């Protein structure tokens, strides 16, 4: 018996999740460091906004994203008029949706990791002549690396499984924006149970691997 196996959704999913994780990594780490280490007006609000995607339904997030980057959204119109770019119904749009949904996972663990760094180590670096950027790059970041990396793994796994927001922003275009989780739903609706089963096994295996790897490798302890 041969299974008609189309791996396009898998590659697409890895691409979307990879770009999404990169995005949420950069934004999440910087925001986490700001919230963990400085006191400014609106700090609590920023913290809430970064955590919000964790508790909001993905469809609601997708709706917000469409309002923002859709044809009539202010960011969408600016992108269209200035650069000729439209993110709706593209894999880049799917990546943006997945990035928003996975942001809290990396933000939360990065914040906890930064707060776990002894402030005296950062102070020691200051008395040794380092600028604030130097303190971040040579002390805070390396010491928080374990937690940040674990958060990035979780964010990647979450981005791979993203469904609701992705479907609303990028739709279900086979070969273009149809990721694994959407392909599962598509196959199931079409009564194509065999394909659905294969896809389910693939996605489960990948997610399980990620969790095992992030749990095993990144137990970095110095003390």
Residues that bind other proteins (CB under 8 A): 118, 120-121, 123-131, 138-139, 142-143, 222-223
CA distances to 24, 38, 76, 131 from 123, in Å: 28, 14, 43, 11
Buried b / exposed e along 53-85 (16+ C-beta atoms within 10 A): beebebeebbbbbbeebbeebeebeeebeeeee
- Within its chain, how far is the Cα of 206 from the centroid? 16
The tokens for 37 are 């280490």
Identify the residue whose tokens are 């279900």.
172
Q: Give the nearest distance from C-beta 137 to other proteins in angstroms.
A: 10
CB of 223 to other proteins, least distance (A): 6
Q: Which CB, 129 or 175, lies closer to other proteins?
A: 129
Supply the minimum distance, in Å, between the C-beta of residue 117 and other proteins. 10
Q: Cβ 221 to other proteins, closest distance in Å?
A: 9
Q: Provide CB contacts within 8 A for 217, sequence distance 6+.
A: none
Q: Is 83 or 222 the residue whose CB approaches other proteins more closely? A: 222
Give the span between the Cα atoms of 2 and 11, in whole angstroms. 21
Q: How far is the CB of 114 from other proteins (least distance, A)?
A: 15
**Cβ closest to other proteins, residue 55 vs residue 223:** 223
Rg for the chain, CA atoms, rounded? 20
**Closer of 148 and 159 to other proteins (Cβ):** 148
Q: Which is nearer to other proteins, 44 or 81 (CB)?
A: 44
Smallest gap from residue 36 Cβ to other proteins (A) = 18
Inter-residue contact 178 to 15 (CB < 8 Å): no
Compute the C-alpha angle 105/203/199, nearest 5°: 145
Structure tokens at 140: 């805070």
Nearer to other proteins, 27 or 112 (CB): 112
């Amino acid at each position: 018996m041969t299974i008609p196996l189309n791996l396009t959704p898998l590659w697409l999913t890895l691409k979307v999740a990879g770009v999404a994780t990169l995005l949420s990594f950069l934004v999440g780490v910087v925001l986490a460091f700001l919230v963990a280490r400085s006191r400014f007006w609106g700090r609590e609000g920023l913290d809430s906004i970064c955590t919000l995607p964790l508790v909001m339904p993905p469809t609601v997030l997708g709706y917000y994203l469409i309002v923002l980057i859709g044809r009539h959204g202010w960011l969408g119109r600016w992108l269209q008029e200035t650069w000729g770019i439209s993110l709706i119904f593209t894999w880049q749009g799917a990546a943006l949706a997945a990035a928003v949904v996975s942001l809290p996972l990396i933000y939360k663990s990065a914040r906890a990791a930064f707060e776990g760094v002894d402030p005296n180590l950062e102070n020691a670096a200051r008395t040794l002549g380092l600028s604030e950027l130097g303190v971040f790059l040579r002390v805070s970041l390396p010491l928080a690396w374990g937690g940040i990396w674990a958060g990035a793994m979780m964010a990647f796994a979450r981005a791979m499984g993203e469904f609701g927001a992705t479907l609303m922003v990028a739709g279900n275009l086979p070969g273009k924006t149809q990721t694994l989780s959407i392909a599962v739903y598509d196959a199931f609706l079409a009564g194509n149970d065999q394909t659905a089963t294969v896809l389910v096994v693939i996605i489960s295996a990948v997610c399980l691997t990620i969790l095992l790897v992030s749990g095993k490798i990144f137990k970095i302890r110095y003390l």
